Amino acid sequence: MSRLTCLRSMPLLCLAVFLASGCASDPSRGYSMDRPFDSEYRSIAVPIIENDTYFREVGFNLTDALVKEIQSRTPYKVTGEGGADTVLKGRITDVNLRQLSKSRNSGLAEEMMYTVTINWEWTDLATGKPIAARQNFSASAVFMPSRPSSEPIELGRFEVVQQLASDMVDAMRSDW
């Protein structure tokens, strides 16, 4: 092997050694390729999220988004409460639509912010103790209801529910 070839491959070799050294099998000793969720639990029940607001479909949409997010991003199996190790319950306390900008010509809203606030708790059913809980946990999404976009309010609701479900699953991670 020529000296030039050896010098060219040196940065790649250093990068490979650096990346391999950062992937420890024990998360307490550095970076890990393991999933960051508690392996003590295997299943989770997600009853329909309760809703204290007049925006009734938000609770159903959030429950559906949570189930899909848990199934796709965690090692937990979503089941009914009878066969689950844990349960994730929540109550929507506020849904807010706020105008961010309006058209100078028509006075109609150009940008709206859809915000949902929830109190939730993830509980170990064997002990009854909370694993994780958050109060006044919220997410927001912006949509444009006026022309030329003419986005429906359902788009704003969909976006905020997806963001909230993703944020809730992020908060379920162990060892933060």
CA distance 75 to 41: 9
In a domain, 82, yes or no: yes
Based on the fold, state whether residues 143 and 109 are members of the same structural domain.
yes
Residue by residue, DSSP assigns 75-137 as: SPEEE-GGG-SEEEEEEEEEEEEEEEEE-TTT--EEEEEEEEEEEEEEEETTT--EEEEEEEE
pLDDT recorded at residue 72: 94
- Alpha-carbon dihedral sign for residues 160, 164, 165, 170: positive
Per-residue pLDDT 10s for the chain (176 aa) are: 555 555 455 555 555 544 444 444 444 444 555 556 667 889 999 999 999 999 989 999 999 999 999 999 999 999 998 889 999 999 999 999 888 777 777 666 678 888 999 999 999 999 999 999 999 999 999 877 766 767 777 888 899 999 999 999 999 886 44
Judgement on whether residues 26 and 101 belong to the same structural domain of the protein: no
67 and 129 co-located in one domain: yes
43 within some domain:
yes
Residues 134 and 89: beta-carbon distance below 8 Å: no
Tell me, what's the pLDDT at 88? Answer: 96
Q: What is the pTM of this model?
A: 0.74
Residues 54, 22 share a domain? no
Please tell me whether residues 96 and 65 are part of one structural domain.
yes
In a domain, 51, yes or no: yes
CA gap 113, 141 in Å, rounded: 6
- Residue 85's domain is classified under what CATH number? 3.30.160.150
> Residues 64, 117: one domain?
yes
Q: Are 43 and 75 in a shared domain?
A: yes
- Tell me the DSSP string of 12-59: HHHHHHHHHHT-BSSGGGS-BSS-SS-TT--EEE-PPPEE-SS-THHH
Same domain membership, residue 102 and residue 23? no
- 83 and 16 within one domain: no
Report if residue 176 sits inside a domain.
no
Same domain, yes or no: 123 and 151: yes
- Of 116, 118, 108, 117, nearest to 151 (Cα)? 108
Is 4 part of a structural domain of the chain? yes
Classify residue 145: in a domain, yes or no: yes
- Give the pLDDT score at 63: 97
In the chain, how many domains are there? 2
Range of the domain at 11: 1-34
Q: Are residues 22 and 82 in the same domain?
A: no
- Determine the pLDDT at residue 163: 95
66 and 14 share a domain?
A: no
